[in-house]
Amino acid sequence: MLNTDLDAVIPMLLVTLAALATMIAEAFRKPGEHPPMGLFGLIGLVAAAVTSTYLWNRNVVGFGVIIADNFGLFVTLVLVIVGILTIMFSSAVVERDGMPAGEYYTLVLFALVGMMMMATAGDLLVVFISLEILSLAVYVLTGIRRDRAGTEAAFKYFLLGSFSSAFFLYGIAFTYGVTGSTKLLDVGSYFSAQSLSGDPMILIAMGLLLVGFAFKISAVPFHMWTPDAYEGAPAIVTGFMSTGVKVAAFAAFARVFLSTLEPFKNDWTPLVAGLAVLTMFLGTVVGVAQSNLKRMLGYSSIAHGGYLLVALVSANELGKQAILFYLLSYALTNLAAFGVIALLGTRERGNDELRDYAGLWYTRPGVAALMTVALLSLGGLPPTAGFFAKYYIFLAAVSAGYYGLAIVGVLTSVVSVFFYLRVVVNMYMAEPATQTPPRVSGFGVAALTLAIVAIFYLGILPTPVINLASQSISTIF
């Protein structure tokens, strides 16, 4: 039984205070001064990590709707890693691109607060509120450069995001109409008692909630916003939203569907399995045709969402562990790839086309090597984190009897290796580009190195993290 304790909100409260401190620092900043705005965020995120570790195994509840169980804390720690790496990459990018530092770091931190709240939400209305907090911050971050491409991307993202929010809110309304509550524990208890009733209102509620979550994880056919938003946003923002938003959304998705809606698993499993097949197939096939790296990684992100849906469908113990391990591996790998793109860009040129990476090994060999590791991990090649992440998901599908999903996943994963290796071949075997890429800052190299070391660690010694994931899922499933 969960204990009532306000300690549950401390990690996100510390990040909120860091965001407020950044706002105040920006307000009192004198013209011409460039204080280290990201430092407040790093302090707040490290403090959030420490308090999350302190809350481990305590299973506390804050305000009756924030559940700081091990599952939520594991995801919170993943989000802390995403936030720290994003801020480290941003230190060299924000000033170079002329983005307002105070606004940028504040929005990143508030988005992280929404993500943490979403991962630990024990009420559907809190899931919706946290979804809006993170979404509004990410919409603004997408267009923060105020150029034409960013503004168009932000508008498309906002417009389609509003539709998905409406679907999700209607799903909450139908759920409340059927059960009389929006708390996940109460809704789950009611659904358990009604599992054989075949009430069409319950099925409608599940369908609307599924649409809302499918949009946030870029599942086909709710993926339309992804390539344009990824291409138009600054590269570091693209890396942040492609990892943080997906991690938070999948955490809430798993908590709602694998716990609260588990009694109706036979009803929603075929739908999610169909979404998984479409998502893996489209993300891979269309990604092959892309020449812009941000769009290519956008379609790659769609395909990776499909792999996570396979784990969600499997829903056995290994599949649930695989979701958490995959989220961590994907976050590290994708942030490293987008970090390279962000660091190699300039204010005038994004340097995000395939031709811009021609001969990178000859001009920036260290960066080329780091990018190679990130791309190989996205492709699922050993000895990287991506290999074991996909291995556990496909093994879970096979052990649960979903052989078709496993076969589709393996085949699309093999095809996806082509467009990752195309970038690698271009970096090592093509003639260097006419414009020499800019030098990468020391802070940026440090962030890349940390990410790559973590990728190798998870690819060589995955067992400790898998065991930690196993402890995490036991608290809610």
**pLDDT at res. 36:** 79
Q: What separation in angstroms does the CA of 346 have from each of 75, 343, 371?
A: 33, 8, 18
The string of pLDDT tens digits covering residues 197-223 is 677 898 999 999 999 999 989 998 888
- Per-residue pLDDT band for 45 (boundaries 50, 70, 90) equals very high
Using a pLDDT cut of 90, give the percent of the chain over it: 63
Using a pLDDT cut of 70, give the percent of the chain over it: 96
393-401: average pLDDT: 93
Closest CA to 7 of 46, 52, 42, 47: 52
Query: If residue 115 lies in a helix (H) or strand (E), which one and from where to where?
Result: helix 101-120
Instruction: Establish whether the linkage from the previous residue to 100 is cis, with ω within 30° of 0.
Output: no
Instruction: Establish whether the linkage from the previous residue to 35 is cis, with ω within 30° of 0.
Output: no
The rounded mean pLDDT for the chain is 90
Query: If residue 66 lies in a helix (H) or strand (E), which one and from where to where?
Result: strand 66-68
- Per-residue pLDDT band for 475 (boundaries 50, 70, 90) equals low
The string of pLDDT tens digits covering residues 267-313 is 899 999 999 999 999 999 998 888 889 999 999 999 999 999 999 99
**pLDDT at res. 197:** 66
The string of pLDDT tens digits covering residues 453-471 is 999 999 999 999 999 998 8
Closest CA to 355 of 304, 427, 457, 462: 427
In this prediction the pTM is: 0.95
426-443: average pLDDT: 78
- Give 432 or 71, the one with higher predicted confidence: 71
Contacts of 453-456 spanning 24+ positions with Cβ under 8 A: 454/81, 454/332, 454/385, 455/329, 455/332, 455/333, 455/336, 455/373, 455/374, 455/377, 455/384, 455/385, 455/386, 456/373, 456/383, 456/384, 456/385
- Give 397 or 473, the one with higher predicted confidence: 397
- Give 239 or 150, the one with higher predicted confidence: 239
**pLDDT at res. 1:** 40
Could you give the CA distance from residue 398 to residue 384 in angstroms, rounded to a whole number? 22
DSSP E strands: which ranges in 109-199? none
Could you give the CA distance from residue 69 to residue 275 in angstroms, rounded to a whole number? 29
For residue 121, the SS3 value is strand
- Per-residue pLDDT band for 105 (boundaries 50, 70, 90) equals very high
